Amino acid sequence: MIKLVVFDCDGTLVDSQAAICRAMDAAFAAAGLPAPDRAAVRRIVGLSLPQALLELAPDAPEDRRRHALEAYKASFRAARSEGTLEQPLYPGMAGLLGRLHTAGRALGVATGMSERGLRACLARHDIRALFTTLQTADRHPSKPHPAMLEAALFEADAAPGEAVLVGDTVFDVAMAHAAGVRAIGVAWGYHEPGELLAAGAAGIARSAEELEEMIDA
Asked if 126 is an active-site residue, the reply is no
Phi, psi of 108 (to 5 degrees): -140, 165
Give the C-alpha separation, 94 to 138, whole Å: 26
C-alpha span between 180 and 90 (Å, rounded): 27
Contacting residues for 49 by C-beta, under 8 A, at least 6 apart? 69, 72, 73, 112, 114, 137
Q: Which of 8, 15, 168, 172 is catalytic?
A: 8
Active site residue 168: no
State the catalytic residues.
8, 10
